């Protein structure tokens, strides 16, 4: 089978085609033919070794000193079950599925194996394969952080970097839990944010959201360009600051930041959970969550897809179409 390999750290040019043996499913595994996958900020950061401040040496130890230890990137996929292990009974060949490999990666391949009880679920029937492939990275990340924040209905939430993969998921998932959401985004993206459920938008090019006098119960920082102290000042008593792209210093300080003021700072990696993938499928079936697609690239244009993500101008998720076509129409953005 064909895979895309990252043979060393660098620009998108370091990515190359490679041939790998076809994987064989274990007794409780599924062999999935990948129809679509995504290129997200995690893939860009690993490929370019572009890590949050302070993580350079630690990142090399974790990812690989000279090249990625796992050369096949990609954290999420959608596809069709091709075969199952002898004891697998949850899915059958021909079933449409989507899933999340997370830090294990390996989705930039024509085939992959997944534990049938792992982060994999039936594809919601109203989604095409391109949209299904984009459900997990942003969706599962935000389910993890909103769960840790113990978000309550009626609370005010500010999402910084709302137009990206994770930010657009944050707007929708916070809204689905009854929050009143304000999105920080470019003016051109404001109509999209309102369609996703944001009550208000703030254009950071025109307004400093820290100086508007508003207070929020939860601030979700998806981009990491603001010092935590700046955003702590706009929290209500008992407020929570979610740092999704924290540097090492802020990650280490997080347990103590704001404690004297009764505030909480929540940071750290999000874990892959099978239950979250199932919840995302349910939310999508109810029309409460639809991944935003920036662009869809053919499999052969993987370098262009990486360049699009690295430009930091995308709105939503960049998708790679690996094989075949989907007959399903894209689901509408929630009204």
pLDDT score of 335 more than 90: no
Average pLDDT over residues 31-43: 97
pLDDT score of 106 more than 80: yes
In this structure, is residue 203 part of a structural domain?
Answer: yes
As given in the structure block, the two tokens for residue 63 are 């990812």
Categorize the per-residue pLDDT at 324 as very low, low, confident or very high, splitting at 50, 70 and 90: low
In this structure, is residue 168 part of a structural domain?
Answer: yes
CA angle at residue 78 from 324 to 316, to 5 degrees?
100
Task: Please list the residues that pair with 121 across neighbouring strands.
Answer: 98
Task: Please list the residues that pair with 36 across neighbouring strands.
Answer: 78, 321
pTM: 0.92
Residues 126 and 6 in one domain: yes
- Tell me what percent of the residues of the chain surpass a pLDDT of 90: 81
Categorize the per-residue pLDDT at 62 as very low, low, confident or very high, splitting at 50, 70 and 90: confident
206-252 per-position pLDDT tens digit:
999 999 999 999 999 999 888 898 899 999 999 999 999 888 888 88
Residues 125 and 225 in one domain: no
126-174 per-position pLDDT tens digit:
999 999 999 999 999 999 999 999 999 999 999 999 999 999 999 999 9
Contact in structure between 77 and 133 (CB atoms under 8 Å):
yes
In this structure, is residue 204 part of a structural domain?
Answer: yes
In this structure, is residue 274 part of a structural domain?
Answer: no
What is the extent of the structural domain holding 169? 148-267
Task: Please list the residues that pair with 181 across neighbouring strands.
Answer: 157
- Alpha helices (H) along 64-214: 129-133, 136-149, 165-176, 190-196
Cα separation, 102 vs 157, whole angstroms: 26
Query: Mean of the per-residue pLDDT values for the chain?
Result: 93
Tally of domains in the chain: 2
Q: Cα separations (Å) of 204 from 116, 125, 183, 184? A: 44, 38, 10, 7
Cα separation, 55 vs 48, whole angstroms: 13
Residues 154 and 202 in one domain: yes
Q: Is 260 exposed, middle or buried (0-12, 13-18, 19+ CB in 10 A)?
A: exposed
Residues 61 and 160 in one domain: no
As given in the structure block, the two tokens for residue 84 are 């199952």
Confidence (pLDDT) at 327: 39
Longest dimension (CA), the chain: 61
Average pLDDT over residues 290-313: 95
């Amino acid at each position: 089978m064909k895979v895309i390999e990252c043979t060393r750290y660098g620009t998108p040019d370091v990515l190359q085609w490679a041939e790998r043996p076809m994987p064989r499913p274990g007794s409780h595994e599924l062999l999935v033919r990948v129809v679509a996958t995504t290129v997200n900020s995690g893939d860009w950061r690993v490929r370019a070794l572009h890590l949050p401040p302070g993580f350079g040496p630690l990142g090399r130890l974790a990812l690989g000193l000279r090249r990625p230890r796992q050369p096949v990137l990609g954290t999420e996929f959608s596809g069709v079950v091709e075969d199952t292990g002898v004891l697998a009974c949850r899915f059958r060949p021909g079933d449409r599925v989507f899933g999340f490999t997370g830090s294990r990666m390996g989705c930039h391949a024509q085939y992959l194996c997944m534990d049938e009880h792992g982060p994999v679920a039936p594809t919601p029937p109203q989604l095409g394969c391109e949209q299904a492939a984009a459900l997990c990275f942003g969706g599962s990340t935000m389910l993890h952080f909103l769960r840790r924040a113990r978000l309550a209905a009626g609370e005010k939430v500010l999402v910084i970097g709302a137009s990206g993969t994770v930010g657009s998921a944050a707007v929708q998932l916070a809204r689905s839990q009854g929050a009143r959401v304000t999105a920080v985004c470019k003016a051109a993206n404001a109509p999209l944010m309102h369609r996703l459920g944001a009550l208000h938008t703030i254009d950071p090019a025109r307004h400093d959201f820290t100086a508007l006098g508003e207070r929020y119960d939860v601030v979700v920082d998806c981009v990491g360009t603001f010092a935590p102290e700046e955003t702590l000042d706009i929290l209500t008593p008992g407020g929570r600051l979610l740092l999704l792209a924290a540097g090492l210093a802020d990650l280490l300080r997080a347990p103590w930041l704001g404690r004297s003021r009764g505030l909480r700072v929540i940071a750290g990696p999000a874990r892959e959970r099978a239950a979250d993938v199932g919840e995302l499928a349910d939310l999508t079936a109810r029309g409460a969550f639809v991944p935003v697609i920036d662009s869809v690239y053919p499999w052969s244009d993987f370098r262009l897809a990486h360049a699009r993500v690295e430009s930091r101008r995308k709105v939503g998720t960049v998708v790679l179409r690996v094989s075949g076509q989907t007959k399903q129409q894209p689901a509408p953005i929630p009204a």
